[in-house]
Amino acid sequence: MAPITARFTRAAVTVIVLLTAGACAVPSTAPATEQPALERMAAPYADDLRAMGISRLFVYGDPARVRVTTEFGEVYFRYPAGLAPTQFTLSVGQQAIEANSDAFNAGNSAQYEAAMKAVLPEAIRRTNVNNIQEIQQRMSPGGGGG
- Bridge partner residues of 66 (DSSP): 59, 77
5 or 65: which leads in pLDDT: 65
What pTM did the predictor assign?
0.77
Question: How far is it, in rounded angstroms, from Cα 44 to Cα 143?
Answer: 35
**Among the listed residues 62, 122, 67, the one whose alpha carbon sits nearest the alpha carbon of residue 86:** 62
Structure confidence by residue, pLDDT tens digits, 9-29 = 454 444 443 444 444 444 447
**Among the listed residues 63, 127, 132, the one whose alpha carbon sits nearest the alpha carbon of residue 90:** 127
Query: Which residues does 114 contact at the CB level (< 8 Å), separation at least 6?
Result: 83, 84
Share of the chain above pLDDT 90, in %: 69
